[in-house]
Amino acid sequence: MEQKTKITGDIHYVGVNDRKSPLFEGLWPLPYGVSYNSYLIVDEMVALIDTVEICYFEEYILKIKKILGSRPIDYLIINHMEPDHSGSIRLIKEQYPNIIIVGNKQTFGMVEGFYGVTGEQYLVGDGDFLKLGKHHLRFYMTPMVHWPETMMTYEETTETIFSGDAFGTFGALNGGFIDSKINVSIYWDEMVRYYSNIVGKYGSPVQRALTKLADVKLSNICSTHGPVWTQKENIDKVVSIYNDLSLYNAKEGVVIIYGTMYGNTEAMAEEIALELSEQGIKDIVLHNANKSDASYIIADVFRYKGLIVGSPTYNGQVYPRVEALLSDILLRDIKNRYLGYFGSFSWASAAVKRMGDFVTKSKFELVADPIEMKHAMKPINYDQCSHLAKSMADRLKKDSK
């Protein structure tokens, strides 16, 4: 019987799908689920690369044993210690007590700390090599993508990179796990949402990792989440998405984030959007901060060059949901955005003034003075909103000239 787990040569997919968890890391919605990918290389020596969330251990070990039978695993290579991948280490060690754990100098303390697992270890550094037989593994240290111990493992004969979370995406695998055998259309937007929320803060380390891989030929990308990428056009697209996002490159377009209770601040957002459209900006996304999940908003802030934020004054503060989003944006160190902002109040304005803090901290380029509206939209407020929108559109168009 042909093994359905095969990727190429003697490399097998032994990952699992999570269609149960509503949220990833307890924060990020998973409408399409998520996969925890693990890989097995069967050669003179057998290597398992990363593991899976512990609650999937039973399914996982069955997959492994179906391939290996009673044959032991020689090496467990740990590219990343976040528990969605390291969760099964202790149980794997129980099944295979002689397994040698392969990691870098950041890895082993975490293995012992999280799981109390010690025993034989194989310490690798940047560029180190491990021969399994006909398969040759080379290790690349890629710290802070997105934890300190993260590294990548490259199998030279098949040009396969086991990249950890890098090049990963949300979305469980439905049927096959190889891009050429499935419809991959859902993964592109989910990749942006995955990157921007999970890895988003670490643009510079991701850039360093990409530079390190620049001369490495990639015929297969085996990440820890999402499909195995084998098609040239997909590999190019995946690398280019990660490259653009980590450089904070964004396209012409505007995301308008606003909070509202009774619709007055929203009316300002609508007027700004209308004028942006008049000015020829086609990609405009309005997010009501009360309704849109933050992960989708953050993804759009990574996507578009223009950001406009609006908030009513709420008990002398910025509206809480807007405040939280501003902090989410700052946390991710997003760079090079054009910014406009506006607010509304009824007796003592505070939101707009307080949002000034965000302007300073974000270092975004302000395209116009902020607007403040009292009570409800009046002719002057329509003019102010149009002016803000025009300034944003002009700034964006200047870049595309």
Q: Which residues contact 365 (CB under 8 A, 6 or more apart)?
A: 337, 338, 339, 395
The least distance separating Fe ion from the CB of residue 391, rounded to whole angstroms, comes to 39
Please state, in angstroms and rounded to a whole number, the distance separating the CA atoms of residues 223 and 341. 39
Question: Closest separation between CB of residue 128 and Fe ion, Å?
Answer: 22
The answer to whether the beta carbons of residues 383 and 274 sit under 8 Å apart is no
Stretches 135-143, 200-208, 220-228, 346-354: which one binds ligand FMN (CB under 6 A)? 346-354
Q: Which does 266 bind (CB under 5 to 8 A by kind): ligand FMN, Fe ion, none?
A: ligand FMN
Query: Beta-carbon neighbour count of residue 257 at 10 Å?
Result: 27
Choose from ligand FMN, Fe ion, none: what does 139 bind? Cβ within 5-8 Å by kind.
none
Lookup: tokens for 99: 């397994």
Q: Which residues contact 185 (CB under 8 A, 6 or more apart)?
A: none
The pattern of x and - marking residues 250 through 269 that bind ligand FMN according to CB under 6 A reads ----------xxxxxxx---
Question: Min. distance of Cβ 93 from Fe ion in angstroms?
Answer: 20
Cβ distance to Fe ion smaller for residue 166 or 307: 166
DSSP summary character for residue 21: -
Shortest approach of ligand FMN to residue 338 CB, angstroms?
A: 24
List C-alpha distances in Å: 355 to 256, 342, 350, 362: 15, 9, 9, 11
Rounded to the nearest whole angstrom, what is the least distance from the CB of residue 275 to Fe ion in the complex? 41
Interface with ligand FMN in residues 312-331 (CB under 6 A): 312-316
Determine if 165 is a binding residue for Fe ion (CB under 5 A).
Answer: yes
Out of 10, 18, 53, 82, the only residue in the binding site for Fe ion (CB under 5 A) is 82
Position 207, amino acid: Q
Residues 190-249 that bind Fe ion (CB under 5 A): 224
Select the binding partner of residue 82 from ligand FMN, Fe ion, none (C-beta < 5 to 8 A, by kind). Answer: Fe ion
Angstrom distances, CA of residue 298 to CA of 45, 289, 324: 44, 11, 11
84 touches Fe ion (CB under 5 A)? yes
Q: What is the DSSP string of 29-87?
A: E-TT-EEE--EEEESSSEEEE----GGGHHHHHHHHHHHHTTPPP-EEE-S--SHHHHT
Cβ distance to ligand FMN smaller for residue 51 or 264: 264
Which residues contact Fe ion (rule: CB under 5 A)? 82, 84, 165, 224
Residues that bind ligand FMN (CB under 6 A): 260-266, 312-316, 344-350
